[in-house]
Protein backbone atom coordinates (compact mmCIF):
# COMPACT_ATOMS: atom_id res chain seq x y z
CA UNK A 1 0.00 0.00 0.00
CA UNK A 2 1.24 3.49 -0.88
CA UNK A 3 1.85 5.89 1.99
CA UNK A 4 -0.07 9.17 1.62
CA UNK A 5 2.26 11.76 0.02
CA UNK A 6 2.78 15.04 1.80
CA UNK A 7 1.50 18.24 0.22
CA UNK A 8 3.99 20.49 -1.57
CA UNK A 9 1.83 23.56 -0.91
CA UNK A 10 2.95 26.09 1.68
CA UNK A 11 0.57 26.78 4.57
CA UNK A 12 -2.52 28.79 3.49
CA UNK A 13 -1.78 32.48 3.04
CA UNK A 14 2.02 32.02 3.10
CA UNK A 15 4.38 31.94 0.14
CA UNK A 16 7.43 30.03 -0.92
CA UNK A 17 10.14 32.23 -2.34
CA UNK A 18 11.95 30.46 -5.18
CA UNK A 19 15.19 32.15 -6.32
CA UNK A 20 13.39 34.29 -8.92
CA UNK A 21 10.94 35.48 -6.21
CA UNK A 22 13.80 36.20 -3.83
CA UNK A 23 15.55 38.19 -6.52
CA UNK A 24 12.50 40.41 -6.89
CA UNK A 25 12.05 40.81 -3.15
CA UNK A 26 15.73 41.57 -2.60
CA UNK A 27 15.59 44.08 -5.44
CA UNK A 28 12.74 46.12 -3.97
CA UNK A 29 13.84 45.85 -0.35
CA UNK A 30 17.37 46.77 -1.48
CA UNK A 31 16.05 49.99 -2.99
CA UNK A 32 14.00 50.72 0.12
CA UNK A 33 16.90 50.01 2.47
CA UNK A 34 19.20 52.28 0.43
CA UNK A 35 16.66 55.13 0.43
CA UNK A 36 16.11 54.80 4.19
CA UNK A 37 19.82 54.68 4.98
CA UNK A 38 20.34 57.75 2.80
CA UNK A 39 17.83 59.54 5.01
CA UNK A 40 19.79 58.34 8.11
CA UNK A 41 17.28 55.79 9.35
CA UNK A 42 19.02 52.95 11.24
CA UNK A 43 17.99 49.31 11.04
CA UNK A 44 16.92 47.27 14.10
CA UNK A 45 15.20 43.92 14.61
CA UNK A 46 13.51 41.87 17.33
CA UNK A 47 12.18 38.36 17.96
CA UNK A 48 9.31 36.66 16.09
CA UNK A 49 7.71 35.70 19.41
CA UNK A 50 6.46 38.24 21.91
CA UNK A 51 4.21 38.10 24.93
CA UNK A 52 0.56 38.08 23.86
CA UNK A 53 -0.39 40.72 26.41
CA UNK A 54 1.57 43.37 24.50
CA UNK A 55 -0.93 43.14 21.66
CA UNK A 56 -3.95 42.82 23.93
CA UNK A 57 -2.85 45.97 25.74
CA UNK A 58 -2.57 48.20 22.71
CA UNK A 59 -3.02 46.83 19.22
CA UNK A 60 -6.80 46.67 19.45
CA UNK A 61 -9.36 43.90 19.35
CA UNK A 62 -9.11 42.90 15.71
CA UNK A 63 -5.38 42.22 15.74
CA UNK A 64 -5.08 40.84 19.27
CA UNK A 65 -8.16 38.60 19.41
CA UNK A 66 -8.93 37.66 15.84
CA UNK A 67 -5.69 37.83 13.90
CA UNK A 68 -2.91 36.79 16.26
CA UNK A 69 -1.39 33.33 16.17
CA UNK A 70 -0.91 32.57 19.83
CA UNK A 71 -0.02 29.65 22.06
CA UNK A 72 1.39 28.78 25.48
CA UNK A 73 4.99 27.65 25.77
CA UNK A 74 5.96 24.66 27.94
CA UNK A 75 6.18 26.90 30.99
CA UNK A 76 2.68 28.28 30.33
CA UNK A 77 3.74 31.71 29.04
CA UNK A 78 1.17 33.17 26.63
CA UNK A 79 3.01 34.04 23.43
CA UNK A 80 2.12 35.48 20.04
CA UNK A 81 3.84 35.30 16.68
CA UNK A 82 4.27 39.02 15.99
CA UNK A 83 1.34 40.37 13.92
CA UNK A 84 2.97 43.81 13.76
CA UNK A 85 6.24 45.45 14.78
CA UNK A 86 5.16 48.61 16.60
CA UNK A 87 4.77 47.11 20.12
CA UNK A 88 8.18 45.41 19.69
CA UNK A 89 9.93 48.64 18.72
CA UNK A 90 8.23 50.48 21.59
CA UNK A 91 9.56 47.76 23.94
CA UNK A 92 13.10 48.11 22.52
CA UNK A 93 12.98 51.87 22.98
CA UNK A 94 11.57 51.59 26.51
CA UNK A 95 14.25 49.07 27.56
CA UNK A 96 17.10 51.49 26.75
CA UNK A 97 15.32 54.75 27.23
CA UNK A 98 18.18 56.35 29.16
CA UNK A 99 20.89 55.39 26.67
CA UNK A 100 19.37 56.08 23.28
CA UNK A 101 20.13 59.14 21.20
CA UNK A 102 16.73 60.80 20.70
CA UNK A 103 15.17 61.63 18.31
CA UNK A 104 15.57 58.12 16.92
CA UNK A 105 15.06 57.35 13.25
CA UNK A 106 14.70 53.59 12.98
CA UNK A 107 13.55 51.03 10.44
CA UNK A 108 13.09 47.28 10.21
CA UNK A 109 11.78 44.78 7.65
CA UNK A 110 10.25 41.92 9.70
CA UNK A 111 7.96 39.14 8.52
CA UNK A 112 4.63 39.22 10.33
CA UNK A 113 1.79 36.75 10.75
CA UNK A 114 -1.92 37.55 10.84
CA UNK A 115 -4.77 35.06 10.73
CA UNK A 116 -6.69 36.75 7.92
CA UNK A 117 -8.81 35.47 5.05
CA UNK A 118 -6.19 35.46 2.26
CA UNK A 119 -7.18 37.78 -0.61
CA UNK A 120 -5.55 40.19 -3.07
CA UNK A 121 -3.25 42.43 -1.03
CA UNK A 122 -3.71 40.49 2.24
CA UNK A 123 -2.01 37.24 3.23
CA UNK A 124 -1.22 35.44 6.47
CA UNK A 125 2.49 36.08 6.28
CA UNK A 126 3.91 39.29 4.87
CA UNK A 127 7.08 41.32 5.14
CA UNK A 128 6.54 44.86 6.37
CA UNK A 129 8.91 47.80 6.15
CA UNK A 130 8.52 49.68 9.44
CA UNK A 131 9.77 53.25 9.63
CA UNK A 132 9.47 55.11 12.93
CA UNK A 133 10.72 58.25 14.63
CA UNK A 134 10.75 58.44 18.44
CA UNK A 135 11.20 61.48 20.62
CA UNK A 136 9.81 64.30 18.49
CA UNK A 137 6.21 65.24 19.22
CA UNK A 138 5.69 68.05 16.75
CA UNK A 139 4.43 67.95 13.18
CA UNK A 140 8.03 67.98 11.85
CA UNK A 141 8.36 64.24 12.55
CA UNK A 142 4.97 63.57 10.93
CA UNK A 143 6.21 65.47 7.90
CA UNK A 144 9.49 63.52 7.84
CA UNK A 145 7.64 60.21 8.00
CA UNK A 146 5.10 61.12 5.30
CA UNK A 147 7.74 62.56 3.00
CA UNK A 148 9.79 59.38 3.53
CA UNK A 149 6.78 57.29 2.48
CA UNK A 150 6.55 59.35 -0.72
CA UNK A 151 10.32 59.08 -1.30
CA UNK A 152 10.15 55.29 -1.07
CA UNK A 153 7.56 55.08 -3.83
CA UNK A 154 9.36 57.67 -5.92
CA UNK A 155 12.48 55.48 -5.72
CA UNK A 156 10.56 53.13 -8.02
CA UNK A 157 9.71 56.00 -10.40
CA UNK A 158 6.11 56.08 -9.20
CA UNK A 159 4.34 59.42 -9.70
CA UNK A 160 1.36 61.14 -8.14
CA UNK A 161 -1.08 59.67 -10.66
CA UNK A 162 -0.34 56.21 -9.23
CA UNK A 163 -0.79 56.71 -5.48
CA UNK A 164 -2.01 59.17 -2.84
CA UNK A 165 -1.29 59.62 0.84
CA UNK A 166 -4.65 59.95 2.64
CA UNK A 167 -4.23 61.89 5.86
CA UNK A 168 -6.41 62.48 8.92
CA UNK A 169 -5.80 63.18 12.60
CA UNK A 170 -7.24 61.19 15.52
CA UNK A 171 -7.34 64.18 17.87
CA UNK A 172 -9.17 66.18 15.24
CA UNK A 173 -11.48 63.24 14.57
CA UNK A 174 -12.39 62.90 18.27
CA UNK A 175 -12.93 66.64 18.68
CA UNK A 176 -15.09 67.05 15.61
CA UNK A 177 -17.17 63.95 16.43
CA UNK A 178 -17.60 65.22 20.00
CA UNK A 179 -18.79 68.58 18.69
CA UNK A 180 -21.20 67.04 16.17
CA UNK A 181 -22.48 64.11 18.24
CA UNK A 182 -21.84 65.30 21.80
CA UNK A 183 -19.94 62.08 22.58
CA UNK A 184 -17.40 61.59 25.36
CA UNK A 185 -13.98 59.95 24.68
CA UNK A 186 -15.41 56.41 24.82
CA UNK A 187 -18.39 57.42 22.64
CA UNK A 188 -16.07 58.94 20.02
CA UNK A 189 -13.96 55.77 20.07
CA UNK A 190 -17.07 53.69 19.33
CA UNK A 191 -18.10 56.02 16.52
CA UNK A 192 -14.57 55.74 15.09
CA UNK A 193 -14.93 51.95 14.92
CA UNK A 194 -18.15 52.31 12.91
CA UNK A 195 -16.64 54.90 10.58
CA UNK A 196 -13.55 52.73 10.11
CA UNK A 197 -15.81 50.01 8.70
CA UNK A 198 -17.88 52.36 6.54
CA UNK A 199 -16.60 51.05 3.23
CA UNK A 200 -16.73 47.42 4.30
CA UNK A 201 -20.46 47.24 5.17
CA UNK A 202 -23.69 48.29 3.40
CA UNK A 203 -24.83 51.87 4.00
CA UNK A 204 -27.90 50.73 6.03
CA UNK A 205 -25.65 48.81 8.44
CA UNK A 206 -23.36 51.82 8.82
CA UNK A 207 -26.30 54.13 9.60
CA UNK A 208 -27.92 51.62 11.95
CA UNK A 209 -24.66 51.32 13.92
CA UNK A 210 -24.39 55.10 14.26
CA UNK A 211 -28.03 55.41 15.31
CA UNK A 212 -27.35 52.75 17.97
CA UNK A 213 -24.66 55.06 19.33
CA UNK A 214 -27.19 57.89 19.64
CA UNK A 215 -26.62 59.77 16.36
CA UNK A 216 -29.65 60.98 14.40
CA UNK A 217 -29.99 61.64 10.66
CA UNK A 218 -28.85 65.25 10.97
CA UNK A 219 -25.65 64.29 12.77
CA UNK A 220 -24.96 61.52 10.29
CA UNK A 221 -25.38 64.03 7.44
CA UNK A 222 -22.85 66.34 9.14
CA UNK A 223 -20.37 63.49 9.29
CA UNK A 224 -21.05 62.66 5.62
CA UNK A 225 -20.24 66.25 4.71
CA UNK A 226 -16.77 65.92 6.26
CA UNK A 227 -15.79 63.41 3.58
CA UNK A 228 -16.20 66.04 0.90
CA UNK A 229 -14.23 68.77 2.67
CA UNK A 230 -10.71 70.00 2.10
CA UNK A 231 -8.47 70.34 5.12
CA UNK A 232 -9.12 74.06 5.78
CA UNK A 233 -12.88 73.70 5.67
CA UNK A 234 -12.81 70.67 7.96
CA UNK A 235 -10.35 72.27 10.42
CA UNK A 236 -12.56 75.38 10.60
CA UNK A 237 -15.30 73.24 12.20
CA UNK A 238 -13.13 72.83 15.28
CA UNK A 239 -10.68 75.73 15.35
CA UNK A 240 -9.73 75.10 18.99
CA UNK A 241 -8.71 71.51 18.34
CA UNK A 242 -4.99 70.74 18.61
CA UNK A 243 -5.54 68.07 15.96
CA UNK A 244 -7.02 70.64 13.54
CA UNK A 245 -3.94 72.82 14.02
CA UNK A 246 -1.64 69.83 13.47
CA UNK A 247 -3.44 69.07 10.22
CA UNK A 248 -3.13 72.67 9.05
CA UNK A 249 0.59 72.82 9.90
CA UNK A 250 1.26 69.54 8.18
CA UNK A 251 -0.59 70.43 4.98
CA UNK A 252 1.03 73.86 4.89
CA UNK A 253 4.49 72.24 5.03
CA UNK A 254 3.52 69.65 2.40
CA UNK A 255 2.47 72.53 0.12
CA UNK A 256 5.74 74.35 0.73
CA UNK A 257 7.64 71.22 -0.27
CA UNK A 258 5.44 70.61 -3.33
CA UNK A 259 4.42 67.30 -1.82
CA UNK A 260 0.75 68.28 -1.73
CA UNK A 261 0.19 66.72 -5.15
CA UNK A 262 0.73 63.34 -3.44
CA UNK A 263 -1.50 64.04 -0.41
CA UNK A 264 -5.20 64.40 0.36
CA UNK A 265 -7.12 65.09 3.55
CA UNK A 266 -9.43 62.09 4.07
CA UNK A 267 -11.83 62.01 7.02
CA UNK A 268 -12.38 58.29 6.41
CA UNK A 269 -8.84 57.36 7.55
CA UNK A 270 -9.18 56.19 11.14
CA UNK A 271 -6.79 53.19 11.29
CA UNK A 272 -7.88 50.01 13.04
CA UNK A 273 -5.05 50.04 15.59
CA UNK A 274 -5.98 51.55 18.94
CA UNK A 275 -2.68 53.17 19.81
CA UNK A 276 -2.76 56.07 17.34
CA UNK A 277 -3.36 59.46 18.92
CA UNK A 278 -2.54 62.17 16.35
CA UNK A 279 -1.81 62.19 12.63
CA UNK A 280 -2.95 59.01 10.87
CA UNK A 281 -2.44 58.14 7.23
CA UNK A 282 -2.66 55.45 4.60
CA UNK A 283 -1.12 55.30 1.16
CA UNK A 284 -3.62 54.05 -1.40
CA UNK A 285 -2.91 52.77 -4.87
CA UNK A 286 -4.94 54.71 -7.47
CA UNK A 287 -5.50 51.50 -9.47
CA UNK A 288 -8.97 50.20 -8.51
CA UNK A 289 -7.89 46.53 -8.50
CA UNK A 290 -5.41 47.27 -5.70
CA UNK A 291 -7.95 48.43 -3.18
CA UNK A 292 -6.11 47.51 0.04
CA UNK A 293 -3.92 50.14 1.74
CA UNK A 294 -0.23 49.92 0.84
CA UNK A 295 1.08 51.83 3.84
CA UNK A 296 -0.57 52.54 7.17
CA UNK A 297 0.76 54.63 9.97
CA UNK A 298 0.50 57.52 12.33
CA UNK A 299 1.47 59.03 15.63
CA UNK A 300 1.22 57.11 18.88
CA UNK A 301 1.90 59.09 22.03
CA UNK A 302 1.86 56.53 24.76
CA UNK A 303 3.13 53.13 23.62
CA UNK A 304 6.54 53.42 25.28
CA UNK A 305 4.68 54.31 28.49
CA UNK A 306 3.34 50.72 28.58
CA UNK A 307 6.81 49.57 29.59
CA UNK A 308 8.30 52.42 31.67
CA UNK A 309 6.53 54.53 34.30
CA UNK A 310 6.21 58.30 33.88
CA UNK A 311 7.72 58.47 30.44
CA UNK A 312 6.55 60.50 27.57
CA UNK A 313 8.31 59.41 24.40
CA UNK A 314 6.02 59.70 21.46
CA UNK A 315 6.51 57.89 18.18
CA UNK A 316 5.30 58.28 14.65
CA UNK A 317 5.78 55.88 11.77
CA UNK A 318 4.30 53.54 9.22
CA UNK A 319 4.25 49.96 8.01
CA UNK A 320 4.46 49.13 4.33
CA UNK A 321 3.92 45.57 3.11
CA UNK A 322 5.60 43.61 0.34
CA UNK A 323 2.33 42.11 -0.98
CA UNK A 324 0.70 45.44 -1.82
CA UNK A 325 4.01 46.88 -3.04
CA UNK A 326 4.45 44.05 -5.52
CA UNK A 327 0.86 44.46 -6.78
CA UNK A 328 1.51 48.20 -7.15
CA UNK A 329 4.77 47.73 -9.06
CA UNK A 330 3.30 45.12 -11.39
CA UNK A 331 0.10 47.08 -12.07
CA UNK A 332 1.98 50.29 -12.90
CA UNK A 333 4.68 48.50 -14.84
CA UNK A 334 7.51 49.65 -12.58
CA UNK A 335 9.64 46.50 -12.47
CA UNK A 336 12.58 46.62 -14.89
CA UNK A 337 14.16 43.45 -16.27
CA UNK A 338 16.08 42.62 -13.11
CA UNK A 339 16.75 39.04 -14.23
CA UNK A 340 19.01 39.70 -17.17
CA UNK A 341 20.95 42.75 -16.15
CA UNK A 342 24.69 42.71 -15.51
CA UNK A 343 27.42 40.25 -16.38
CA UNK A 344 27.04 36.60 -15.31
CA UNK A 345 29.43 34.10 -16.83
CA UNK A 346 29.10 30.34 -17.25
CA UNK A 347 32.36 28.46 -17.79
CA UNK A 348 31.35 25.43 -19.84
CA UNK A 349 33.31 22.20 -19.68
CA UNK A 350 34.49 19.32 -21.85
CA UNK A 351 35.63 15.93 -20.63
CA UNK A 352 39.00 16.04 -22.41
CA UNK A 353 40.22 19.09 -20.48
CA UNK A 354 41.13 18.61 -16.82
CA UNK A 355 38.29 19.93 -14.63
CA UNK A 356 40.68 21.93 -12.46
CA UNK A 357 41.59 24.08 -15.50
CA UNK A 358 37.99 25.31 -15.47
CA UNK A 359 38.16 25.88 -11.73
CA UNK A 360 41.19 28.11 -12.33
CA UNK A 361 39.21 30.17 -14.86
CA UNK A 362 36.29 30.71 -12.55
CA UNK A 363 38.60 31.62 -9.70
CA UNK A 364 40.21 34.29 -11.90
CA UNK A 365 36.79 35.67 -12.82
CA UNK A 366 35.67 35.84 -9.22
CA UNK A 367 38.93 37.50 -8.16
CA UNK A 368 38.10 40.17 -10.73
CA UNK A 369 34.65 40.48 -9.12
CA UNK A 370 32.83 38.95 -12.08
CA UNK A 371 29.80 36.85 -11.20
CA UNK A 372 30.52 33.39 -12.57
CA UNK A 373 30.08 29.65 -12.25
CA UNK A 374 31.42 26.45 -13.80
CA UNK A 375 28.82 24.19 -15.35
CA UNK A 376 28.77 21.44 -12.73
CA UNK A 377 26.42 19.00 -14.45
CA UNK A 378 27.27 16.20 -16.82
CA UNK A 379 25.37 17.20 -19.97
CA UNK A 380 26.79 17.69 -23.46
CA UNK A 381 27.75 21.13 -24.77
CA UNK A 382 24.38 21.85 -26.44
CA UNK A 383 22.56 21.30 -23.14
CA UNK A 384 25.09 23.53 -21.38
CA UNK A 385 24.02 26.35 -23.71
CA UNK A 386 20.37 25.74 -22.79
CA UNK A 387 21.34 25.82 -19.12
CA UNK A 388 23.16 29.16 -19.58
CA UNK A 389 20.21 30.74 -21.40
CA UNK A 390 17.64 29.51 -18.90
CA UNK A 391 19.85 30.61 -16.01
CA UNK A 392 20.10 34.20 -17.35
CA UNK A 393 23.86 33.98 -17.91
CA UNK A 394 25.12 36.82 -20.10
CA UNK A 395 28.26 35.06 -21.37
CA UNK A 396 29.74 31.60 -21.82
CA UNK A 397 33.45 30.89 -21.61
CA UNK A 398 34.31 27.94 -23.84
CA UNK A 399 37.59 26.06 -23.64
CA UNK A 400 37.78 22.76 -25.58
CA UNK A 401 41.00 20.77 -25.88
CA UNK A 402 42.23 22.67 -28.96
CA UNK A 403 41.74 26.09 -27.28
CA UNK A 404 43.33 24.72 -24.12
CA UNK A 405 46.42 23.51 -26.02
CA UNK A 406 46.77 26.90 -27.71
CA UNK A 407 46.23 28.91 -24.53
CA UNK A 408 43.04 30.45 -25.94
CA UNK A 409 39.37 30.77 -24.92
CA UNK A 410 36.17 31.54 -26.73
CA UNK A 411 33.73 33.95 -25.12
CA UNK A 412 30.16 33.92 -26.33
CA UNK A 413 27.95 36.89 -25.58
CA UNK A 414 24.54 35.31 -25.19
CA UNK A 415 22.64 38.58 -25.64
CA UNK A 416 24.33 39.73 -28.89
CA UNK A 417 25.27 36.16 -29.91
CA UNK A 418 28.80 37.36 -30.83
CA UNK A 419 31.69 35.01 -30.26
CA UNK A 420 35.23 36.26 -29.60
CA UNK A 421 38.49 34.34 -29.21
CA UNK A 422 40.89 35.73 -26.60
CA UNK A 423 44.18 34.67 -25.00
CA UNK A 424 43.43 32.72 -21.83
CA UNK A 425 45.63 35.22 -19.96
CA UNK A 426 43.37 38.08 -21.06
CA UNK A 427 40.09 36.53 -19.90
CA UNK A 428 39.18 39.19 -17.35
CA UNK A 429 40.26 42.06 -19.64
CA UNK A 430 37.36 41.13 -21.90
CA UNK A 431 34.88 42.06 -19.15
CA UNK A 432 36.72 45.19 -17.98
Q: What residues line the site for ligand HAM (CB under 6 A)? A: 84-86, 114, 116, 122-123, 126, 128, 130, 132, 273, 293-297, 317-321, 323-324
Rank residues 55 and 375 by Cβ distance to ligand HAM and give the closer one: 55
Neighbours of 366 (CB within 10 A): 14
Is the CA virtual torsion 270, 271, 273, 278 positive or negative?
negative
CA–CA separation, 183 vs 118, rounded Å?
Answer: 36
- C-beta pairs of 30-33 under 8 Å, 24+ apart in sequence: 31/155, 31/156, 32/109, 32/129, 32/152, 32/155, 32/320, 33/107, 33/109
Is the CA virtual torsion 392, 397, 399, 403 positive or negative?
positive
Give first-to-last CA distance, the chain, whole Å: 61
CB 102 within 8 A of CB 133: no
CA–CA separation, 137 vs 139, rounded Å?
Answer: 7
Rank residues 106 and 358 by Cβ distance to ligand HAM and give the closer one: 106
Rank residues 135 and 297 by Cβ distance to ligand HAM and give the closer one: 297
The string of DSSP letters for 89-144 reads HHHHHHHTTTTS-SSEEEEE--EEE-----BTTB-SEEEEEEEEEES--SHHHHHH
Q: Kindly state the smallest distance separating residue 370's Cβ from ligand HAM, in Å.
A: 38
Rank residues 141 and 323 by Cβ distance to ligand HAM and give the closer one: 323
Neighbours of 328 (CB within 10 A): 22
Q: Kindly state the smallest distance separating residue 114's Cβ from ligand HAM, in Å.
A: 4
Measured in residues, the chain has a length of 432
Rank residues 278 and 321 by Cβ distance to ligand HAM and give the closer one: 321
Q: What is the CA radius of gyration of the chain?
A: 28
Element (H, E) at 422: strand 419-423
Q: Kindly state the smallest distance separating residue 227's Cβ from ligand HAM, in Å.
A: 20
From the list 319, 299, 306, the residue with the least C-alpha distance to 171 is 299
Strand 279-285 versus strand 295-300 pairing type: antiparallel
Strand 78-81 versus strand 263-265 pairing type: unpaired
Q: Kindly state the smallest distance separating residue 386's Cβ from ligand HAM, in Å.
A: 37
Q: Kindly state the smallest distance separating residue 318's Cβ from ligand HAM, in Å.
A: 5
Q: Kindly state the smallest distance separating residue 148's Cβ from ligand HAM, in Å.
A: 12
CA–CA separation, 182 vs 326, rounded Å?
Answer: 43
Q: Kindly state the smallest distance separating residue 65's Cβ from ligand HAM, in Å.
A: 15
Rank residues 277 and 384 by Cβ distance to ligand HAM and give the closer one: 277
Q: Kindly state the smallest distance separating residue 20's Cβ from ligand HAM, in Å.
A: 20
Rank residues 243 and 317 by Cβ distance to ligand HAM and give the closer one: 317
Q: Kindly state the smallest distance separating residue 317's Cβ from ligand HAM, in Å.
A: 3
List the Cα angle 430/431/432 in 5-degree steps: 95
Q: Kindly state the smallest distance separating residue 118's Cβ from ligand HAM, in Å.
A: 8
Amino acid sequence: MCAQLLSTHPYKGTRDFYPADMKLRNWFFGKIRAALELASFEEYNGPMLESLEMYIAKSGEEIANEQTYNFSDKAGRRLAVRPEMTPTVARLVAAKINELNFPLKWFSIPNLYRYEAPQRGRLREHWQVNVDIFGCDTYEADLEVISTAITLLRAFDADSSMFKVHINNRRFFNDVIASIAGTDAEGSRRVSKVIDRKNKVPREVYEKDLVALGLDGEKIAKIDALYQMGVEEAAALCPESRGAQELLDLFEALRELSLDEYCVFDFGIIRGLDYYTGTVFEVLDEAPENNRAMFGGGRYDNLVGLFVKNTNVSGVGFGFGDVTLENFLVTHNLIPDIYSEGVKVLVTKFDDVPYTEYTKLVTKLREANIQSSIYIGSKKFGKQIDYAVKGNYSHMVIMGSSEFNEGKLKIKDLRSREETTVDAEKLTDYFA
